[in-house]
Structure 1
């Protein structure tokens, strides 16, 4: 038996071997991940991190994989996925949600309890941990608008509470301390009529349906440039519909690259780099990626 798998069993942590990357990201590309750890509690997460460090295995903490791309050749280290940390609770106008809670579930619970402020999150296919680090948002609103505090596991293994003011939130960005892992997040919301909240959510869902592609994607490809949405530049390149392999620059929203079937991660970046070069040549603007590309470490 694989030595790491055996040690994981001995210390009581959950791990899978050779998991297809296509099942772990919303773009549905990537080769096999050598080890996938799925901690069910903070205690198990800490044991997992300690185990990987003791075995000198490279690891990456991931959430829902909605803004993430894995290498086609596979990932030779370990991914630690927080999906099973999924507790959630409501108290006195605040919601506390674990890192693995999906944003649509969070928005739905808020609406059911007559709490407003998270309507925009109802259609974002992400989990609370990764979405908080990336300060996910839609329709001009971001998680930081309603975020009170974050509980993290620090690099030295201690649990800390960080106020929103300490986290340097910006447009789809934050300044979390290096090496820390989001465990749970507390949101402060406003009381409102549940019917009115659900009406706004339906409107946002419909707007998303009309303006964003339905095919598998990794969400927004590029960040704003000097405060201007990347799509403003991309639209003017005339590259909508550009297809390389199975990846296509969406004809519905040009800051999305969609998987039309069997796309490789390399297909995605060939399309993206073609767009970046055209925007740079035409407008003198070098677009920066919003998606995260994970590179594989050396085999362990």
Structure 2
């Protein structure tokens, strides 16, 4: 055991490992805050659809050889989140059909562009890194860490400031609108924040696994608690714990970061489900 701690301490002397840990914890915390809202509003698939949009935007940025892919990925993902929310209410293609169409289109076009225009010697590795996170989080530079910290602070601040409004539109949007709450505006805020979270999580777990990072902590917390605040706090704790443990295991065992974090979330969900059953039996 002491040898493991010594090895871990040696790894954490490297800046890129510390950067990965900081970003991983921040992204996990932000993801968990809105995950409960998405599950309760049955918007779970929006995260999956927007993650594929982010993949397409990142593919375009890679083809254009942009120094920072976030400069393109973030505005494109936010714009698509707004379109899904607003356009889904007024156009003929609505709900899950719009999400599925946008998701598949962005994924296919992104991969096509990378195949046609990319001059990378390791195209398969680049695609795998974007889709599954791979080890890209271990190549973060100080600017990306500062940007992630800034965006994470904004996400947390928005959630705290508008907590009661988000709570209202989550449980009963029509009643909230009837009492004077601008439900459309706060749904828009939720969509934009989710888009920002997805862009942040791209380097951590990849576009195909982002939904797991958002949804699993919320589902785990719901097996143990019933109030919105308790579920949100428990979800945040579970998400941060799984992210921290996943990064540590990944560094020590050499496994892919994103997959390791998701595997940890699955184990915690199964444990919470078992504990929830025991609580129900005791009652």
Normalising by the residue count of structure 1, what TM-score does the alignment of the two structures yield? 0.25
Tell me the TM-score normalized by structure 2: 0.26
Higher relative contact order (CA 8 A, sep 6+): 2
Structure whose residues are more often strand by fraction: 1
Q: Considering fraction of residues, name the structure with more helix.
A: 2
